[in-house]
Amino acid sequence: MRRTLAAVGSFVTLLGALALLAGCGGGGATNPSDPHVAMGGHLFVQFACASCHGMQGKGGVSTDVPTLTDVGKTLTVAQLSSIINHGLGESANPQKPYMPVWGPVISTSQVDDLVAYLQAGLPKVRDATPIPVARDQGAAVAGAALYVRYGCINCHGPSGLGGVPNPLSEDKTIPSLSGQDFRQEFNTDEKITEMIRSGSVIGKPPITSMPHWGGIIPDDDLAALVAYLKTLK
């Protein structure tokens, strides 16, 4: 009995040690002591900065998107805030990525936290990781995760319900990706795919437009997004 308990004891200790290792390990992720930097790290994933600029802004996604590792030193707080609010990039050429205009969607405090994160040198932040995408459960399942991963949900809302304010645009809101009107206008896979790939610029910032994802979202991810959108009400 004693022996069993001791064995159980050491097993528990082992589990504890493993848990501790996993906790500290987490792929070498740190836990910034500044909550603004930590929040910035999470927002960097939520607003799809990581989808275009790579995790920790290290690049590697597209040659048209710069790394961000040095921007904290080369750009001022005002410049960084303005880039996040107004976007940047090739707005006329749909073949090239066009950084989204996040201004109408993102709050001042969120912009401040993102800037704090960039200035801190984009450290790894524990649990600030894009949600996993199941690739072996059908296109629509993958598409649902990609809808979050590419930040579509921030602008088009959960389940594509829309309603996110875009006050200076003609429609005053970012359109829904569900409902009869959407389905009537976007009645083929090609139309939806083309819209996601090439975007649609409806005005200058601070109006937010549909960003160009040209060269960023691979074809099978585009197909998965379309499959997901077709499951919506």
| Residue given tokens 């939806």 in the structure block | 192
Rule CB under 6 A: say whether 125 interacts with ligand HEC.
Answer: no
Residue closer to ligand HEC by CB (options 51, 56) is 51
Sign of the four-CA dihedral 82, 85, 87, 91:
negative
Buried b (16+ CB within 10 A) or exposed e, 135-149: eeeebbbbbbbbbbb
Report, in Å, the least distance between residue 105 CB and ligand HEC.
Answer: 6
Q: Which of 32, 41, 54, 151 binds ligand HEC (CB under 6 A)?
A: 151
Residue closer to ligand HEC by CB (options 126, 183) is 183
CA atoms of 174 and 157, how far apart (whole Å): 9
The three state secondary structure string of 142-159 is: HHHHHHHHCCHHHHHCHH
Rule CB under 6 A: say whether 192 interacts with ligand HEC.
Answer: yes
Rule CB under 6 A: say whether 210 interacts with ligand HEC.
Answer: yes
Contacts with ligand HEC: how many residues (CB under 6 A)? Answer: 46
x/- map, 80-119, ligand HEC, by CB under 6 A: x--xx---xx-------x-xx-x--x--------x-----
Rule CB under 6 A: say whether 48 interacts with ligand HEC.
Answer: yes
Q: What are the backbone angles phi and psi of residue 125, rounded to the nearest 5°?
A: -120, 130
3-state SS assignment for residue 98: strand
CA atoms of 35 and 38, how far apart (whole Å): 5
Rule CB under 6 A: say whether 177 interacts with ligand HEC.
Answer: yes
Question: Cβ–Cβ contacts within 10 Å for residue 229, how many?
Answer: 23
Residue closer to ligand HEC by CB (options 12, 70) is 70
Report, in Å, the least distance between residue 191 CB and ligand HEC.
Answer: 8
**Cβ atoms of residues 121 and 72 within 8 Å:** yes
Residue closer to ligand HEC by CB (options 64, 189) is 64
For residue 27, what is the DSSP state? G
- CA dihedral of 144, 209, 206, 51, whole degrees rounded to 10: 50
CA 208 from centre of chain: 16
Q: Which of 152, 205, 224, 227 binds ligand HEC (CB under 6 A)?
A: 152
Q: Which stretch binds ligand HEC (CB under 6 A): 9-17, 21-29, 79-87, 129-137?
A: 79-87
Q: Which residues bind ligand HEC (CB under 6 A)?
A: 47-49, 51-53, 64-66, 68, 71, 80, 83-84, 88-89, 97, 99-100, 102, 105, 114, 150-152, 154-156, 166, 174-175, 177, 182, 186, 192, 195-196, 200, 202, 208-211, 213, 216, 225
